[in-house]
Structure 1
């Protein structure tokens, strides 16, 4: 990445986010030069990719392309930059497209699935959040929780699986599928199940518990 690639901090985040996520994107996000993937339309159609799938990837690029956000607290930080590329798949299995390159060498990539879910392509497709907006909301919530929590506890494997979430309620804006956030009386819990499911590796299950939160820490933003 060069200085010429960097445009500016985002004056306005993508529409449809919560106030907390909007503020997070505007304060901490950088919009890099967005690639025009529509210029590949004819070549991709020539390889049998449906026009509707090309347009779906292009719509992702219009909304999210070039957006660089701070590293996620799991998944080795998530995509370096949100960036669509050539769709892959079939009419029978459905079509997906990459969501952006990894920050480090990894055993899986980040993908937008046939139904628009944001997930990982590991040993098999594993949706993490029902949309890219849900992924961004989860990043914003993690940043918010780290700032306001008086203590943070991390559990892995069996300890995370045994975590009792009775009395907690799901946080809807993250649109959790395999991953989810939960809100309790004075704590927030992030449950990262994607690697455990996608790699068939239960030892990779991880929970982050943000404790000692007041009303603003739980609901602020």
Structure 2
């Protein structure tokens, strides 16, 4: 009798996430083997990489390494698998490391910056969220809103600047920087500015408006 194939393990959501993001990680994510960074520690130290930066990348790997989540609605889906790598120094003395490989060939990569922000490294470093947790929260919110909204409207280019957010409040759990989420009376608005800023390409601005949401659809965790 042929044994059943082994399935990737169901991931356990890291602490500190909202209930909505916790469900998203554990229901929609899978965990695949991630690389062990600490085995490179001595070699990286010899290359002049500070011990604190190696420890920072290793801590990211312990918490998020090997987690594969469904594609994001922008940024060509985001990282395929969250996975740290060797820290890289920049001209200003800061250190960053990869947050995971791209799903397709792209003009930028996904990085964790010197202050822990998650962002894209394009023509310039562009932080999207204060931390990787904020990125995961944004993915969970997009999946939740898309499931419960009666309408989804996409606005592109300079027209995004005319989106009226009067009466809306920022969604704090996504910890938005260049990208933000906003909650209104019966709708959610996601503003994706990262490519426009990082690539000097205003045509890449995008807003997604999720309308017709009830209280559960607006919050859901």
Q: TM-score range by the shorter chain?
A: over 0.9
**For the residues of structure 2 that align with 1:121 and 1:9, how far apart are their CA atoms?**
30
The 5-angstrom pairing of residues 170-209 of structure 1 reads: 170-209=170-209
**For the residues of structure 1 that align with 2:133 and 2:82, how far apart are their CA atoms?**
12
| Pairwise CA distance, 1:91 | 8.3
| Pairwise CA distance, 1:92 | 4.0
| Pairwise CA distance, 1:122 | 0.4
Structure 2 residue ranges without an equivalent (≥5): none
**For the residues of structure 2 that align with 1:110 and 1:148, how far apart are their CA atoms?**
29
The 5-angstrom pairing of residues 65-144 of structure 1 reads: 65-90=65-90, 92-144=92-144
SS in 1 for 2:9: strand
1:147 equivalenced with 2:131 (yes/no): no
**For the residues of structure 2 that align with 1:124 and 1:90, how far apart are their CA atoms?**
11
SS in 1 for 2:8: strand
**For the residues of structure 2 that align with 1:37 and 1:193, how far apart are their CA atoms?**
32
Match of 2:63 in 1: 63
**For the residues of structure 2 that align with 1:135 and 1:31, how far apart are their CA atoms?**
17
| Pairwise CA distance, 1:90 | 4.8
**For the residues of structure 2 that align with 1:78 and 1:168, how far apart are their CA atoms?**
26
SS in 2 for 1:7: coil
1:26 equivalenced with 2:26 (yes/no): yes
**For the residues of structure 2 that align with 1:113 and 1:199, how far apart are their CA atoms?**
17
Q: CA RMSD in A?
A: 1.2
| Structure 1 residues 156 and 91: alpha-carbon distance in aligned structure 2, compared to 1, 3 A threshold | closer
Any idea what the Cα deviations from partners look like across 1:94-145, whole Å, max 9, x if unmatched?
1000000000000000000000000000000000000000000000000000
Bigger Cα displacement from structure 2, 37-46 vs 138-147 = 37-46
Any idea what the Cα deviations from partners look like across 1:7-49, whole Å, max 9, x if unmatched?
3122x21111000000000000101112101111111111110
**For the residues of structure 1 that align with 2:21 and 2:109, how far apart are their CA atoms?**
24
**For the residues of structure 2 that align with 1:219 and 1:172, how far apart are their CA atoms?**
12
Any idea what the Cα deviations from partners look like across 1:133-172, whole Å, max 9, x if unmatched?
0000000000000000000000001111111111110000
- Taking structure 2 as the reference length, the TM-score comes to 0.96
| Pairwise CA distance, 1:93 | 2.7
SS in 2 for 1:141: helix
SS in 2 for 1:17: coil
**For the residues of structure 2 that align with 1:171 and 1:180, how far apart are their CA atoms?**
8
